[in-house]
Amino acid sequence: MDAHYINEVLNGNTNAFSYFIRTYQNKAYGVAISIVKDEENAKDVVQDSFITAYSSLASFRNDAKFSTWFYRIVVNTALQSIKRKKRKNEVLGDYAITDNQKTACNNAIGLLEKQDLKKLIKGVFEKIPAKEALVLQLYYIDDQNITEIEEITAFTKANVKVLLHRGRTNFYKVLIKQKRKEFF
């Protein structure tokens, strides 16, 4: 399907690009917001990424997946954006999370309704460092595997695994912090 619309756009049918916007804008927004942590900035990142993708579509190799190629543009644009606006990460503390705590968290969030769970995850991702939140978003929400995340982010496989581990730990830390406040 993607290949058909790519050919249409390359043959001069600009309107065919709408298909890509409709198909990928929400996922791209999720990726962007996990990095920039701000809705308006994330929308700007998605918009810029689509324009970059449109301009560079001729350089896209048809043997690759359009989504992987496009998410990589989104990640690069978002990382450039946060480089300009140095944002301070929340200090999450340097302590270990026990298996019991993890199990308790998983059980508790497993009981939440879909909307409450979305709200909770959104809040948690906002407090996790950009790269970790990005890897968690791609792995847990967008269902990308480690190899795909490696291609999208240009991080090494080992780095992706480290970020995933750290991201999970921070995910539970933020959850435990919030547990005292609202959700549990």
Partner 1 sequence: MDNNDRLKEVLEKIDNVNASIDLEDVVMKAIREQESVNNRIASYKAKGYKALTVSVILTMTLGILFSLSSNVHSIEHYIITYSSIILVLIILFIQLEMGRTKIFDNHKNITI
Q: Which is nearer to partner 1, 37 or 72 (CB)?
A: 37
Burial of 29: CB neighbours in 10 Å, binned 0-12, 13-18, 19+: middle
When binding is defined by CB under 8 A, the residue of 1, 63, 110, 158 that contacts partner 1 is: 110
Q: How many CB atoms lie within 10 A of CB 26?
A: 10
| Shortest CB 15 distance to partner 1, Å | 8
| Shortest CB 136 distance to partner 1, Å | 9
Stretch that binds partner 1, among 18-26, 68-76, 79-87, 148-156 (CB under 8 A): 18-26
Number of residues that bind partner 1 (CB under 8 A): 40
Q: How many CB atoms lie within 10 A of CB 170?
A: 22
Stretch that binds partner 1, among 72-80, 95-103, 146-154, 155-163 (CB under 8 A): 95-103
| Separation in Å, CA 7 to CA 16, 34, 50, 128 | 9, 31, 17, 39
Q: Which is nearer to partner 1, 1 or 91 (CB)?
A: 1
Joined tokens for residue 172: 């539970």
Nearest Cα residue to 70 out of 26, 122, 14: 26
If binding is defined by CB under 8 A, does position 167 make contact with partner 1?
Answer: no
| Shortest CB 63 distance to partner 1, Å | 25
Please say whether the beta carbons of 77 and 50 come within 8 A: no
Looking at residues 34 to 73 of the shown chain, list those that interact with partner 1 (rule: CB under 8 A).
Answer: 39, 43, 46-47, 50-51, 54-55
